[in-house]
Amino acid sequence: GAFLRQQRAVVQRSDLRSILPSITCPTAIIHGAADRLIPLAAAEETTAAMPAATFTIIEGAGHFLFHERPAAARDAV
Protein backbone atom coordinates (compact mmCIF):
# COMPACT_ATOMS: atom_id res chain seq x y z
CA GLY A 1 0.00 0.00 0.00
CA ALA A 2 1.36 3.30 1.23
CA PHE A 3 4.97 2.15 1.54
CA LEU A 4 5.08 0.99 -2.09
CA ARG A 5 3.55 4.27 -3.29
CA GLN A 6 6.15 6.20 -1.34
CA GLN A 7 9.00 4.12 -2.76
CA ARG A 8 7.73 4.59 -6.32
CA ALA A 9 7.58 8.37 -5.76
CA VAL A 10 11.18 8.38 -4.53
CA VAL A 11 12.43 6.39 -7.51
CA GLN A 12 10.57 8.54 -10.03
CA ARG A 13 11.42 11.99 -8.66
CA SER A 14 13.74 14.38 -10.46
CA ASP A 15 17.44 14.47 -9.65
CA LEU A 16 17.92 17.79 -7.86
CA ARG A 17 21.58 17.41 -6.87
CA SER A 18 22.53 20.28 -9.18
CA ILE A 19 20.78 22.78 -6.90
CA LEU A 20 22.57 21.69 -3.72
CA PRO A 21 25.40 24.26 -4.07
CA SER A 22 22.80 27.05 -4.12
CA ILE A 23 21.54 26.09 -0.64
CA THR A 24 23.52 28.36 1.65
CA CYS A 25 21.55 28.20 4.90
CA PRO A 26 22.99 26.09 7.72
CA THR A 27 21.96 22.49 7.08
CA ALA A 28 22.48 19.46 9.31
CA ILE A 29 22.89 16.17 7.49
CA ILE A 30 22.53 13.34 9.99
CA HIS A 31 23.03 9.76 8.84
CA GLY A 32 22.75 6.41 10.58
CA ALA A 33 25.96 4.42 10.21
CA ALA A 34 23.95 1.23 9.62
CA ASP A 35 21.44 2.75 7.14
CA ARG A 36 20.71 0.07 4.55
CA LEU A 37 18.37 2.24 2.44
CA ILE A 38 20.56 5.28 1.75
CA PRO A 39 24.30 4.65 1.34
CA LEU A 40 26.73 6.63 3.48
CA ALA A 41 28.37 7.84 0.26
CA ALA A 42 25.12 9.58 -0.75
CA ALA A 43 25.05 11.55 2.50
CA GLU A 44 28.73 12.43 2.08
CA GLU A 45 28.10 13.61 -1.50
CA THR A 46 25.19 15.77 -0.36
CA THR A 47 27.25 17.30 2.43
CA ALA A 48 30.17 18.06 0.12
CA ALA A 49 27.84 19.80 -2.36
CA MET A 50 26.27 22.12 0.22
CA PRO A 51 28.49 25.00 1.38
CA ALA A 52 26.92 25.38 4.85
CA ALA A 53 26.23 21.72 5.63
CA THR A 54 27.50 19.85 8.65
CA PHE A 55 27.64 16.06 8.66
CA THR A 56 27.06 13.77 11.61
CA ILE A 57 27.12 9.97 11.57
CA ILE A 58 25.09 8.26 14.29
CA GLU A 59 26.71 4.96 15.23
CA GLY A 60 24.36 2.11 16.03
CA ALA A 61 21.53 3.60 13.99
CA GLY A 62 20.04 2.74 10.64
CA HIS A 63 17.55 4.58 8.46
CA PHE A 64 15.20 5.40 11.35
CA LEU A 65 17.89 6.97 13.49
CA PHE A 66 15.57 9.39 15.31
CA HIS A 67 13.66 6.35 16.57
CA GLU A 68 16.67 4.07 17.04
CA ARG A 69 19.02 6.55 18.74
CA PRO A 70 16.86 9.53 19.77
CA ALA A 71 19.33 11.11 22.18
CA ALA A 72 22.21 10.98 19.69
CA ALA A 73 19.99 12.31 16.91
CA ARG A 74 18.72 15.12 19.12
CA ASP A 75 22.29 16.04 20.08
CA ALA A 76 23.25 16.16 16.41
CA VAL A 77 20.47 18.63 15.69
Q: Following DSSP, what letter does each residue of 17-75 receive, concatenated?
A: GGGGGG--S-EEEEEETT-SSS-HHHHHHHHHH-TTEEEEEETT--TTHHHHSHHHHHH
**pTM as predicted:** 0.79
43-73 pLDDT per residue, tens? 999 999 999 999 999 999 999 999 999 999 9
At 71, give phi and psi (nearest 5°). Answer: -65, -45
- Closest among 47, 37, 56, 38 to 17, alpha carbons compared: 47
Question: Does the structure show a pLDDT above 90 at 1?
Answer: no
